[in-house]
Amino acid sequence: MSPSIAITLASASPRRRALLERAGLEVRIAPPEIDETPHPGEAPAALVERLAREKAAAVDASPDAIVVAGDTIVLHGDEILGKPRDAEDAARMLTLLSGSSHEVLSGWCVRRGETLRSGVVVTRIRFRTLDLAEIERSVASGEPLDKAGVYAIQGGGAAFVESIDGDRDSVVGLPLGAVLPEIRRLAV
């Protein structure tokens, strides 16, 4: 990457920041304020890509700055699993995910000036069957309570994963395999 190009992350997510820094990028944080309410009838993939584009567009950055944004949801069947309301809801979600597969949809956007490039990466995760004690321990740890989809694959939730089909980084919060080539293209 060119040292003259600044990366602005349109997110307060420490996980997204860590992913970009692990890739050797210097990151400035600028979380935007946008309405994340789904539009009526909006498909989950369209939602995460729209939100990533809106986040990238909402950040005030110099014309030479590269802005990176992302949005991630967990989809179990037709249900979007957001952050649990409370411990009971977290236990319900973990029970739902136990012994089944779900998708993590990660919308991303890279912007430089008026140029926006975006997409969606879908990763399929299968959880092993969890027993009640594991679910209770997980909820008691507090980790699931502030996580959309009720687990962190880079944390305690990794023990629940039986298989991953796709990009692990997108489950953490940002699909570097899609984002880094676009950063390189826009940095030229």
Query: What are the residue numbers of the active site?
Result: 71
Q: What is the dihedral of CA 132, 134, 140, 142, to 10 degrees?
A: -130
Task: Please count the other Cβ atoms lying within 10 Å of the Cβ belonging to residue 124.
Answer: 12
Tokens 């309301």 belong to: 85
Strands 27-29 and 79-81 turn out to be: unpaired
